[in-house]
């Protein structure tokens, strides 16, 4: 759940609904940036960016739940996350995206490099759509974070956009 421009109250209301949808579909519910909100919603975990709290503090809040770390395009950041016992590593942006300004450009070479040093799952982020997602999977991204293609798609409604990716 990535809701940057909502009040805490609205995040809780929306988060409860998302949690129910995730449970019904047997998928993990992760909260972006906010371990306190993840705990309040009893989410499966949280995702932390490089400017969010560190993983040790987040662990104290949410315990032994999933914590993923943004590593941009950096093996150095990934090694720090690995030492901190992150549950997954997120790299990107792999493509241009409408979700946020791109400061770091990742290539599929980072996927190859990271799999040489760890078995921790890797999430690819940034501008992923029906035209480019297969290349990331073929290059061993374990998971894909897809936002704009689903929620801001001018051609397809969210359900249809997801179906196209199956």
Mean pLDDT over the full length of the chain = 94
Other CB atoms within 10 A of residue 164 CB: 15
Provide the CATH topology of domain 65-165. Answer: TIM Barrel (3.20.20)
**pLDDT the model gives residue 100:** 67
Q: pTM for the full model? A: 0.91
Who's near 15: CB < 8 A, 6+ residues apart? 1, 31, 37, 40, 41, 43
Residues 6+ apart with CB under 8 A from 158: 150, 151
Joined tokens for residue 99: 């979700």
Q: What is the pLDDT of residues 64-82, one digit of tens each?
A: 999 999 999 999 999 999 9
More confident position, 110 or 3? 110
């Amino acid at each position: 759940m990535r809701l940057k421009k909502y009040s805490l109250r609205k995040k809780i209301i929306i988060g409860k609904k998302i949690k129910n949808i995730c449970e019904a579909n047997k998928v993990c519910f992760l909260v972006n940036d906010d371990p306190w909100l993840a705990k309040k919603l009893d989410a499966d975990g949280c995702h932390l960016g490089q400017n969010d709290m560190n993983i040790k503090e987040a662990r104290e809040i949410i315990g032994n739940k999933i914590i993923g770390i943004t590593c941009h395009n950096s093996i150095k950041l990934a090694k720090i996350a690995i030492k901190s016992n992150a549950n997954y590593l997120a790299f990107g942006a792999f493509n241009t995206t409408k979700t946020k300004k791109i400061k770091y450009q990742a290539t599929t070479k980072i996927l190859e490099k990271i799999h040489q040093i760890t078995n921790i799952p890797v999430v690819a982020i940034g501008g992923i759509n029906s035209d480019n997602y297969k290349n990331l999977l073929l290059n061993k991204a374990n998971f894909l974070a897809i936002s704009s293609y689903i929620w801001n798609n001018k051609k397809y409604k969210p359900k249809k956009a997801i179906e196209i990716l199956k």
